[in-house]
Amino acid sequence: MANSKVGGPEIERLIQLLSKLPGLGPRSARRAALHLIKKKDQLLVPLAEAMGVAVDKIGVCTTCGTVDTSDPCAICSDPRRDQTMLVVVEDVADLWALERAAALNARYHVLGGNLSPLDGIGPDDLNIAGLIERCHGGDISEVILAINATVEGQTTAHYITDQLAGLDVSVTRLAHGVPVGGELDYLDEGTLTQALKARTRF
């Protein structure tokens, strides 16, 4: 397919960079770029400024691994958070999802991925050592593995559980089952089996 240029090199560069964002292909990147250019004062200038600030201020929390403008992050330094509970997630996006649900007042630990021997991702590539170290501190009594229900996620969960054996920490994981609003007919057999196994009294 011909990839003809639509503007000067600056516009091309903008489109090319936008097309690298998740969910944006070349066509939607062109639309987004044109939208930004048309809304220069309302959108393009503030966006460029916000990005400049983000580059200067945003970093990774050396305690939990999330992204924030302070280190330790706002969650780690919040004294109202339960200090005995750690929720382990694969990615910052998962932490954000759990915070949106506001179901727990715990602190987190971001692994930065899952173990995947086939992709060459081992324990040293993830923030697992930091998790073990935090659990050795003595304050943590429960580690909740909020890790994806994939083969890699379960491999990671087993590895972490093994590493924490011997410590006075109970390791729990999220229930697997029927999603809220879900219809049984649409569920795969694995989910249905897990939901039946994890059934609770009505």
Query: Is 106 a residue that touches Zn ion (CB under 5 A)?
Result: no
Which segment (41-49, 70-78, 126-134, 190-198) binds Zn ion by CB under 5 A? 70-78
Q: Which of 29, 33, 36, 73 is in the footprint of Zn ion by CB under 5 A? A: 73
CB closer to Zn ion out of 58 and 149? 58
**131 binds Zn ion per the rule CB under 5 A:** no
Interface with Zn ion (CB under 5 A), residue total: 6
Closest CB to Zn ion among 61 and 144?
Answer: 61
Asked if 64 interacts with Zn ion (CB under 5 A), we say: yes
* Identified binder of Zn ion from the candidate list 19, 63, 83, 154, rule CB under 5 A: 63
For 153, other C-beta atoms within 10 Å of its C-beta total 19
For residue 14, the 8-state DSSP code is H
For the bound state, the minimum distance from the C-beta of residue 65 to Zn ion, rounded and expressed in Å, comes to 7
Nearest CA-CA partner of 30 in 18, 39, 40: 18
Using CB under 5 A as the binding rule, whether residue 111 contacts Zn ion is answered as no
Nearer to Zn ion, 76 or 98 (CB): 76
- Asked if residue 95 lies in contact with residue 110, where contact means CB atoms within 8 angstroms, the answer is yes
Binds Zn ion (CB under 5 A): choice among 15, 18, 29, 61: 61
Classified as helix, coil or strand, 142 is: strand
Spell out a b/e string for 99-125, using b for 16 or more CB atoms within 10 Å of the CB, else e.
eeeeeeebbbbbbbebbbeeeebeeee
The residue among 43, 8, 141 whose CA lies nearest residue 83 is 141
- Site membership for Zn ion, residue 98 (CB under 5 A): no
Residues 6+ away with beta carbon under 8 Å from 177? 191, 194, 195, 198
Distance CA 130, CA 163 (A): 12
Residue 76 binds Zn ion (CB under 5 A): yes
For position 147 contacting Zn ion by CB under 5 A, the verdict is no
Among 105, 159, 150, 99, residue whose Cα is nearest residue 131: 159
- Pick between residue 29 and residue 87 the one whose CB is nearest to Zn ion: 87
Chain residues binding Zn ion by CB under 5 A are: 61, 63-64, 72-73, 76
